[in-house]
Amino acid sequence: MPEHQHLRADGTVSFLPHRLNRHPVVVRGLTADELWICCGLTGAVGLLAGIPLSWMLSTIAIAPTLVVLSITFGVFIGGSILRRKKRGRPDTWLYRQLQWQIALQHPLLAAWVGGQGLIYRSGFWSVRRSTR
């Protein structure tokens, strides 16, 4: 296919792949960033549950076992939930949703996550068109 077929008369390119800048899906609908977040959070939950349990039962092997089990369940269950929530939404929806939730519930952290740039408005939007 000749190179000039993709060029318009004004010199712009007529074909640009829309998935070029997307993060690839790694596991169960999660991108690499989402997978790291999911593994980190569920691993921390498993560690926090495993340390007291291993102390009560006097065996250290329970803590890493619970970490591995919680990461496994977190990826499979969390991946399914996130895949359903993200379906049909833009690529940045999850990150903007997290930014918005943090900025609303924890205003002191809003600047840290970039929430000060979000628009907070509740109500009806109008385009102020008039009929003639």
Q: What is the pLDDT of residues 33-70, one digit of tens each?
A: 888 989 999 999 999 999 999 999 999 999 999 999 99
Range of the domain at 32: 24-88
Q: Is residue 95 part of a domain?
A: no
Low-confidence ranges of the chain (pLDDT < 70): 1-7, 11, 13-22, 130-132
Instruction: Please count the structural domains in the chain.
Output: 1
Across-strand partners of 13? 7
Phi and psi for 38 in degrees, rounded to 5? -65, -45
Q: Is residue 9 part of a domain?
A: no
Q: Is residue 32 part of a domain?
A: yes
User: Rounded distance, CA 36 to CA 26, Å?
Assistant: 11
Give the pTM.
0.64
pLDDT, residue 39, reads: 93
Instruction: Supply 24's token pair.
Output: 């690839």
pLDDT, residue 96, reads: 85
User: Rounded distance, CA 21 to CA 91, Å?
Assistant: 10
pLDDT, residue 21, reads: 63
pLDDT, residue 57, reads: 92
Q: Is residue 107 part of a domain?
A: no
- The CB density around residue 19, as the number of other CB atoms within 10 Å, is 7
User: Rounded distance, CA 115 to CA 102, Å?
Assistant: 8
User: Rounded distance, CA 21 to CA 117, Å?
Assistant: 23
Q: Is residue 40 part of a domain?
A: yes
Across-strand partners of 51? none
Q: Is residue 63 part of a domain?
A: yes
Q: Is residue 11 part of a domain?
A: no
